[in-house]
Amino acid sequence: MSIRVENRVAMATVEELKLRVRELENELIKCKQKRCAEENAGGSQKHYRQRIEKMSAEVVDSNPYSRLMALKRMGIVEDYERIRTFSVAVVGVGGVGSVTAEMLTRCGIGKLILFDYDKVELANMNRLFFQPHQAGLSKVEAAEHTLRSINPDVSFETHNYNITTMENFSHFMDRISHGGLEEAKPVDLVLSCVDNFEARMAINTACNELGQIWMESGVSENAVSGHIQLIIPGETACFACAPPLVVAANIDEKTLKREGVCAASLPTTMGVVAGLLVQNVLKYLLGFGSVSHYLGYNAMQDFFPTMSMKANPQCDDHYCRKQQEEYKRKEAERPKQEVVEEEEVQVVHEDNEWGIELVSEVTEEELKAASGPKPDLPEGITVAYTIPEKEVNTPAEEMVEETEQSLEELMAQMKRM
């Protein structure tokens, strides 16, 4: 037993050392960059500008905000300066997230909180924002460095960790609920720019619990479609309310070659999706135009399907259901107003009349047994997969048997095997 314990201690130390090595590597890369920059500058004056206390609408070459403030003069945005009062969390600083952060930085957002656990690699260079000399740096650190030099008026907070693990998730929740421009206030918006289901579900869980409004974004693994989605807990469908909504690619799955690759990516599709996302963010925060609940982008046909979906009363996430009750209560209390006509598509359980399935290599009966009701969705939008309705009991299946053994005994038994 004691050997085990020592082993654990030794493992922890190795982990710590690895972390330290990474820190030092980052330090080294930064030093190199600094020297490089100094050499390039060759004594000429720095290109960094001073912080600007108040946004000016004055149209002069030296005013970085003149073209943004012009939106006010043109009557598009009522009060553009409000942008400086908002704090936005960007989760995932990859192909979409980095461009999203750059756009918000250039727009003069008040505060950005960046989350990512990845580091910049040369394999990322087919996307925008990061540069080859940043390879090896953590994405959040490299991003902060570039963004700060673009606009020093923005305050930045970065977190280099994986939000889906137990050790980081509570900290992540804490930063969402206390990361506002005034500390102890929640952020104004969370943007999901992650590339995997697990991280989206983690953001969804956090935002449902906190009642935090967020926007989801995504690019398909074949790089030719994408989407953005606004999630208002309790009101619009959360990420767990239905199987993931995807833009129908109109590509025959059988002709799609997946051999030897996990994901493709294009700077174009990612740039378009980041643009759609930040446009929706600006409209939402500054109150102009209409804010999209779901906007898809099909790059093959240049088709942009839109829709709106209400929260599912049978959602698996109980905080989502709780938020729905809260929303209903608030709606009932609210004095009746003139309802703005809006097309709402509800999750109606209908037959799978399209018969389109993303799962190939599946036998017919398997498909039949495994496919469930498909929500009624507008043309061009579908679900990644369907889930059969829950059966009350499944007697034919063998469940784990009850035992008297404690968890510790079971762990020990497994270890002896």
Partner 1 sequence: MADEATRKAVSEIPLLKTNSGPRDKELWVQRLREEYLALIKYVENNKSADNDWFRLESNKEGTRWFGKCWYIHDLLKYEFDMEFDIPVTYPATAPEVAIPELDGKTAKMYRGGKICLTDHFKPLWARNVPKFGLAHLMALGLGPWLAVEIPDLIAKGLIQHKEQQTNS
Contacting residues toward partner 1, per CB under 8 A: 118, 121, 162, 164-166, 169, 196-198, 201-202, 204-205, 240, 243, 258, 260-262, 316, 358-363, 366, 370, 372, 384-388, 397-401, 403, 405-407, 410-411, 413-415, 417
Q: How far is the CB of 171 from partner 1 (least distance, A)?
A: 12
> Contact, 201 vs 239, CB < 8 A?
yes
Nearest 10 degrees: Cα torsion 152, 153, 158, 164: -140
Does the annotation mark 262 as catalytic?
yes
Choose between 332 and 407: whose C-beta lies nearer to partner 1: 407
Task: Give the DSSP letter of residue 156.
Answer: E
Q: List phi, psi (to 5°) of 82.
A: -55, -25
Q: How far is the CB of 403 from partner 1 (least distance, A)?
A: 7
> Contact, 375 vs 348, CB < 8 A?
yes
Q: How far apart are CA 152 and CA 417, in angstroms?
A: 59
Q: How far apart are CA 220 and CA 381, in angstroms?
A: 13
Q: How far is the CB of 362 from partner 1 (least distance, A)?
A: 6
Choose between 134 and 386: whose C-beta lies nearer to partner 1: 386
Q: Which two tokens stand for residue 222?
A: 């074949």
Q: How many CA atoms lie within 13 A of 417 on its CB side?
A: 7
What is the distance between the terminal CA atoms of the chain, rounded to a whole angstrom?
A: 16
Q: How far apart are CA 402 and CA 272, in angstroms?
A: 53
Q: How far is the CB of 288 from partner 1 (least distance, A)?
A: 35
Choose between 13 and 405: whose C-beta lies nearer to partner 1: 405
Choose between 268 and 405: whose C-beta lies nearer to partner 1: 405
Q: How far apart are CA 63 and CA 56, in angstroms?
A: 7
Q: How far is the CB of 166 from partner 1 (least distance, A)?
A: 5
Provide the strand spans (E) within 65-169: 87-91, 111-115, 155-159
Strands 111-115, 87-91: pairing is parallel
Q: How far apart are CA 210 and CA 189, in angstroms?
A: 12
Query: Residue 166: in which H helix or E strand, if any?
Result: helix 166-178
The secondary structure of 88-106 as a DSSP string is EEEE--STTHHHHHHHHHH
Q: How far is the CB of 406 from partner 1 (least distance, A)?
A: 8
Choose between 57 and 358: whose C-beta lies nearer to partner 1: 358
Q: How far is the CB of 177 from partner 1 (least distance, A)?
A: 16
CA 149 to chain centre: 24
Choose between 69 and 237: whose C-beta lies nearer to partner 1: 237
For 130-155, give one letter per residue: b (16+ CB within 10 A) or e.
beeebbbbbbbbbbbebbeeebebbe
Q: Which two tokens stand for residue 305?
A: 């399907």
Choose between 169 and 303: whose C-beta lies nearer to partner 1: 169
Instruction: Write down the catalytic residue from 107, 241, 262, 320.
Output: 262
Q: Write out the catalytic residue numbers.
A: 262
